[in-house]
Structure 1
Amino acid sequence: MIAERETLKSLSDRLLDARRDLKAKPDGVLEELARTHSLSMSDVLALLPASEAVEAKGVAFERVWAELAEWGEILFLIHNAHGVFEIRTALARGSWGHGYFNLAGGAALGGHLRGDACRSIWLVDRALFGRRSCSVQFLDAAGEVMFKVFVRRDAARELDREQCAKFEAFRQSL
């Protein structure tokens, strides 16, 4: 019902309302903010300060994936209206064939991605529920998240320092 009322507002009003809510709860779930204000995730990510979110074009898909494949075990996440699905795994390097970016090589995550559907990639470094969180988010042409890759956490739930350093360096290189 909230989302239905929000769609009656102009985009600029919805963005203003979302910015206000983000300021009030800066460590909240961005997907909830997008849903509440009938915005795309791209719209919401663009509201974050440059210190928290850096955007790369989707044409960098293969380069970004190759970088992530060098990080070791990560957290691969799909968040949609029906749930949040997580896989802790290393990423296979992948290669193009038959119109797909194909994952093989014995990792827990295998399959065939529509890498060409990726229009933007966001490197996000922000608090989530009071803890620093670092993710790489792949978005489609509609501005919705295809999937995310998170810097892993150790047994104490702290970000892995080595992976965090790789994330920060890669983010600076974009």
Structure 2
Amino acid sequence: MIASVRGTVTATGPDHAVVEVGGVGLAVYCAPGTLADLRVGQPARLATSLVVREDSLTLYGFADDDAKQLFELLQTASGVGPRLAQAVLAVHPPDAVRKAIANADTAALTRAAGVTGGAWPEQVRQALVGLGWTAGQADQAVAAVAETVDGPPPPVPVLLKQAIRLLGRTR
């Protein structure tokens, strides 16, 4: 595990910074607020979390250990991956996220980009493509199902069944 990095910022992008540590440039994915504090050519220290996937090793960076710990905790929830956890922290500071969770304030939590009660549109889309429909058909079905959702969305399996019913009518 790479718990933190300290070095010179050599580059920044819209969603990442490159921090040179011991002659090695590490790409560290950060929320916009963290990136705003980094300057090319200046030293930086980022708390980090290494996310290991079958096909990638991705390093996420945070201004402090508190944000890093909450990032890791958020990912223990079903359907929450690193991108979604980072999106939540991009919108709210750690204390606000904890308060929203403690008070079951789903409205506050769903203000983050990509958070729609559990990122169901992408889950349903991927399931439909996996079942053999084209990406275009899946997108149309997800859009149609989204129009029927009023308030908190039902569980993903229910939404998937609705999408399959819609697609079954078009075959």
TM-score grouping bracket, smaller chain normalisation: under 0.3
Rg bigger for which structure?
2
Q: Which has the higher contact order (CA 8 A, sep 6+)?
A: 1
Higher normalized strand content (fraction of residues):
1
Higher normalized helix content (fraction of residues):
2
Taking structure 1 as the reference length, the TM-score comes to 0.24
